[in-house]
Amino acid sequence: MFFKNSVKWPILTVFLLIVVFAGGCATTNGNGVQSDASAERPPFPGSRKNMEIEPTVVSYPDYHDPLIYLNRGVFAFNDVTYRFFLIPLSQGYMKVIPDPVHKSVGNFFHNIKSPVYVVNYLLQTELKQTGRSLLRFGINSTIGVLGLFDPAKSWMRIEKVETDFDDTLTVYGAGYGIYLVLPIFGPSDLRGAAAFVVDHFLDPITYLTGNPERTAIQGYDFFQNYAPNADTYKTLRKKSEDPYIFFRNLHLQRVQRDADYK
């Protein structure tokens, strides 16, 4: 989202490189990953909600990471970008922007991306959640002034629901594949990278605007979602001997937790 062209091109490029180099290296969710039901989703860019995480995770010393040298290079780039650009910018943003404004912006982006949730819940045959997503979209797009406010939750107690194509692939038994660090977006895997591309094409912003406006809007969506979690990255990084291994383990722990939950 911080690229000259639409975000799909760097992600597609990375994905194609993985397919070429990794081929049949994909693993399943149960391959070398231990379960930890208390694990939380790691605080990398694009995480779905704010949360505090203890800097202790399960270790996977025997995990096969075939792209470790490529991943370490991307991780190093991300690390510098986070610490010297995104985190300071996020700290300033959170100080300047009032909480109600930041909340309304988050509501707007969550609402406009409702087609992503609706389509994926349909593919997962989660009809109740599909209906909930549609109902929230209708209420918040009208009474909530294009989603800036959330009367569906505050007035009717219809809580936010959210899913993506990664969840859909998981429902159908797709393994997470090999570990992968994406530029800017951080820890992921082959399944997550492929899902990211699909969800990009389900996002209405992709079709409602053209470049450079589209890139600016999607970039701001990414940033406002990342900003509240920025300090967590620095905290965890300071307490880890090898940040790359630590965040890889954190991601693998989250993958297994989600698999056990589903």
Q: Is the pLDDT of residue 66 over 80?
A: yes
In a domain, 1, yes or no: no
Rounded Cα distance between 71 and 81, Å, is 15
| CB-neighbour burial class of residue 41 (10 A; exposed 0-12, middle 13-18, buried 19+) | middle
How many domains does the chain contain in total? 1
* N-terminal to C-terminal alpha carbon distance within the chain: 30
Q: Which amino acid, 101? A: V
**pLDDT (tens digit per residue) in 188-199:** 999 999 999 999
Place of tokens 């992968």: 180
Answer yes or no: is 3 within a domain.
no
In a domain, 166, yes or no: yes
In the numeric block, the tokens 């010393």 are attached to: 61
Instruction: Provide the residue range defining the domain that includes 81.
Output: 8-261
Distance CA 93, CA 88 (A): 9
Q: Does residue 47 surpass a pLDDT of 50?
A: no
Q: What is the mean pLDDT of residues 171-187?
A: 94
Rounded to two decimals, what is the model's pTM?
0.77
